Amino acid sequence: MKFSVIVFPGSNCDQDAFHTAGSILGEQVEYVWHKEGSLSVDTDAVIIPGGFSYGDYLRCGAVARFSNIMKDVVSFANNGKPVIGICNGFQILTEIGLLEGALLRNQNLKFICKDVFLKTSNNKTTFTNNLSEEQVIRIPIAHGDGNFFADDDTIKSLQDNNQIVFQYCDENGNVNDQSNPNGSLLNIAGITNKSNNVLGMMPHPERYSEQLLGCNDGIQVFQSILNNFKNGVLA
C-alpha cells in the first residue's frame, strides 16, 4: 500500500505521519509538495498532516485549500479513495468542503496541548475498523482552533449517517462537558464524510503510534486504513 503525505509551507507533523506509515506500519510512503499538480498514480491513501499551513493566516486551512495539489486530492476523494486530515488537515478538509462544519477558536481561547481520551463512536469505518465498538483510546491534541461547529441540520445529518467517529470523553468513555477540551458540539473530535472515505480529526494519532512514544493507541487508525485496503472491508 502507498501513502502520500501532503506538505504545505508550515506543515509540521508531516514527518511523524511519514514515519508512522513508512517505518511503523511498514508500507510505502512519499511526500507530495503542495505545488505538485497531481498525486502519484499508485497512491492508495492521502494524509493531510497537522501544522500551521500558511501561518494559519485568514483562517486555519483557508489558504492551503487553494494549493495546486488539493484539486487532485479532491478528485482522489471523490473517487472513493481514503483521505485522512489530522488537526490542520481536518481544518483544510472543512475549508475545501470535503467535510462538513468548521473549526472555531477553542472556547477557553487557549492553545491546548495535552493527552485526551477519545471514544470510538463508530468503529465501522475505513479509519476505525481495527478498534472495537466504543473503544477508548488516548491521543494527544495540540490546537488553538479545534472547537467543532456545524448548524443544527448538519449536526443531525452527521448523527443520522453515523459520521461522528471520535468524541472527547473521560478515561471511562463518558462523553460530557468535563471531558470536552475545546467546546466542540457533541464533543466531536473526528468526523467522516457521508461516503466514509474521508476522515478529519483534531487529535494526533501519528504522535502516539509506537510504544517508544509512551502510547501506541494511534496506530489503530493507520492499521484500519491498511486493513481496509487489504481486505476491502468497507470502501
Nearest to 82 by CA among 213, 8, 193: 193
Catalytic-residue membership of 19: no
Position among 35, 66, 75, 156 found at the interface with another protein (CB under 8 A): 66
Q: Are 82 and 46 a contacting pair, CB within 8 Å?
A: yes
Using rule CB under 8 A, residue 98 touches another protein: no
Enumerate residues 5-24 that contact another protein by CB under 8 A: none
Using rule CB under 8 A, residue 68 touches another protein: no
Candidates 26-34, 62-70, 131-139, 214-222: pick the segment binding another protein (CB under 8 A): 62-70
- Per-residue contact string for residues 108-147; x = within reach of another protein by CB under 8 A: xx--------------------------------------
Q: How far is 84 from 1, CA to CA, in rounded Å?
A: 15
Catalytic residue among 87, 100, 143, 169: 87
Using rule CB under 8 A, residue 212 touches another protein: no
Catalytic-residue membership of 34: no
Catalytic-residue membership of 171: no
Using rule CB under 8 A, residue 62 touches another protein: yes
Distance in Å, CB of 65 to another protein, minimum: 9
Instruction: Encode the chain in three state secondary structure.
Output: CEEEEEECCCECCHHHHHHHHHHHCCCEEEEEECCCCCCCCCCCEEEECCECHHHHCCCCCCCHHHCHHHHHHHHHHHCCCCEEEECHHHHHHHHHCCCCCEEECCCCCCCEEEEEEEEECCCCCCCCCCCCCCCEEEEEEEECCCEEECCHHHHHHHHHCCCEEEEEECCCCCCCHHHCCCCCHHHEEEEECCCCCEEEECCCHHHHCEHHHCECCCHHHHHHHHHHHHHCCCC
Using rule CB under 8 A, residue 59 touches another protein: yes
Position among 75, 107, 157, 178 found at the interface with another protein (CB under 8 A): 107
Position among 4, 20, 88, 94 found at the interface with another protein (CB under 8 A): 94
Candidates 43-51, 76-84, 107-115, 159-167: pick the segment binding another protein (CB under 8 A): 107-115
Looking at beta carbons only, is 74 or 136 nearer to another protein?
Answer: 74
Size of the site for another protein (CB under 8 A): 20
Q: Are 235 and 82 a contacting pair, CB within 8 Å?
A: yes
**Residues at the interface with another protein (CB under 8 A):** 58-59, 62-63, 66, 94-95, 100-102, 104-109, 149-151, 183
Query: Which residues are known catalytic residues?
Result: 87, 204, 206
